[in-house]
Structure 1
Amino acid sequence: MKKVVLFGCLLVLIGCKSTSTSKADKKPEFVKLNLSEVSSVKKNRAYELGKRVLNTCNTSSFKPFTTEEATDEVLRKINKEKISTTCKNILQVFGQFKDIKLVEVIRYDDDKITLFRYKCDYEKKYKIKELRVSINDENKITAITTKDWNDTYNP
């Protein structure tokens, strides 16, 4: 009987053992920066390139990024066909693009990435869209995405 109880306690201890989280399970750590802390070069780059993509929906002409403006991965992913498909959906729901307003800047030191969060202004005020432009320390775009706006940043 003692052996059964001891064995049961051992099983409970093994079952309750805490697991350590691997680096892959951890969320990346970031710091929110004051807008005044960010270089105007980075702010202008993010604004101009982000606006260029969104203006494509209004003009139906896309000026591709250069190797000085974006990483190879972005150059492969952002193409005229993908933007055209996205624009059809955006124009139907939101109407013409007007402008973007910088709301928040987030820094990921591990990846050396600065993320710019913009609120998008469209003709129709159906709901607010967000544009995220990520720029590395070489001032190249590493990612550009749109989402529905959320006041709280969720990576």
Structure 2
Amino acid sequence: MTRTERNTSPAAIMRDRHSRTGLTKSEFERKGGAGAHNWGSVNDEERAEYDGRLDAELETAMFDDGAAPAEADKVDDLPEREAPVAPQRRMSQVSDQERADALRYREGGLKQNGIDLANIARTSHGVAQSPPNNLGTSPLRQKSGFSAQ
């Protein structure tokens, strides 16, 4: 349909009479907003700043009016508890004897009736292997044969 036909077609005229979005042409032309998504106008900025300052003053007045917490609510009056002692991490290396004992325990642990998963977890150093030292983290300087040379 050409522009001339559309101007003369009664159905097109009825359809074009009202905007599908409900906004008028003046609202389409100018948002009137300060932000990219029409979050308010520049004229409202001063009022928003004033309202924010007023709210802050009211909150400080509420806290400064002498309304202290009750004596029973103070944390200082609670009985002190000892902080639980966290297990310290072992900084020494596992000896070969400990590794052999742990490996022997883990191999025989599955054959027993009462499997103790906690002991199996504690002896994980018997089968654990450290990653090789020649692994690199840089994609440019890979050292362990993964480079595409």
CA radius of gyration, larger in: 2
Q: Which has the higher contact order (CA 8 A, sep 6+)?
A: 1
Q: Which one has the bigger strand percentage?
A: 1
Higher helix share: 2
Settle same-fold status: TM greater than 0.5.
no
TM range (shorter): under 0.3
